[in-house]
Amino acid sequence: MKIKVVLYIIVLFVFIPKLFSQEKVTTFGIQLKPIIPVNFFGAGKQEQIQNNIQFINQPKFGLSFGMIIRKGLTKSLSIETGLNFLKRNYDLTINDPDSSFSGTSDFSIVNYEIPVLGLVYVQLGRNMFMNVSGGVSLDIYPTPLFVSGIYFTNAINRTYWIQPSLLANIGWEYRTEKSGYIYIGASLHRSFSNIFTEHVHYNGENDNRDEDITFDLTGNYLTIDIRYFFHEEKQKKKKKVKKEKVKRVFIDPRKK
């Protein structure tokens, strides 16, 4: 089924004649992307039980925002890059029925992304366009994280301070004549490896426990993309000016 979908997309972009991009136009935009945790992409809830104690790591909704620069290369291809700030939120819950105890602690992971994407467009109407894009992202994780409470400690250590990831996107945009572009779409971000390792130590309310649990946190997530691109005029081609050849004549002063 997945192979059929991929082949359909390839045929769509090869044979539809209305492929279009803003050739020789560089546009600047801003974007807001709510982050949605989805179990299907390996970014959902994780649960472990040890000695009748339940440990749950639950991703919550996060947020990403930043700026975009898009460059039209040809009539069917553009390239896009930018800088994004991300904040992903989590809940750590510990249930200890033997001690009649249950507690939840929240924490957030902050990082930055530098995406590089290639885009192809299909013109759906006079001002409406659909695009499909793919590329990579360099994800930067500035610092590890440590959270502690009376009954637990939670150390979240990064795997690397910078990691590459795959990006895929589909979206639709409405282009006005003078007021820029309005865009809505969805993106999938998939890391090549785990981004953090979470080490949880539970000592209980009365220091009567000594339990250690480890969670591997993936960098996978799905976003809803809302963007606005400012209006820019098409860059004019520079005309080449032919230089006229000037013949130099040498005059002997003795012949005057």
Distance (Å, whole) CA 65 – CA 50: 39
> Phi/psi at 81 (nearest 5 deg)?
-145, -175
Q: Give yes or no for a contact between 130 and 122, defined as CB atoms under 8 angstroms apart.
A: yes
User: CA 231 to CA 26: how far, in whole Å?
Assistant: 9
pLDDT of residue 7: 40
Q: Which domains does the chain have, with CATH numbers?
A: 19-255 (2.40.160.20)
Nearest residue to 181 (alpha-carbon basis) of 70, 97, 45, 74: 70
The pLDDT of residue 53 is: 94
- Take residue 126 and report the two structure tokens written for it: 């006079």
pLDDT at 10: 40
- Global pTM reads 0.76
Instruction: Give the number of C-alpha atoms closer than 13 A to the C-alpha of residue 24, restricted to the C-beta side.
Output: 6
DSSP 8-state code for residue 51: T
Contact 224, 15 (CB under 8 A): no
pLDDT tens digits in sequence order for the chain, 256 residues long: 444 434 444 433 343 334 344 567 889 999 999 998 878 777 788 999 999 999 999 999 999 999 999 998 877 789 999 999 999 999 999 999 988 888 999 999 999 999 999 999 888 888 899 999 999 999 999 888 999 888 999 999 998 999 999 999 999 999 888 888 999 999 999 999 899 999 999 998 778 889 999 999 988 999 999 999 997 776 555 555 555 555 555 555 555 5
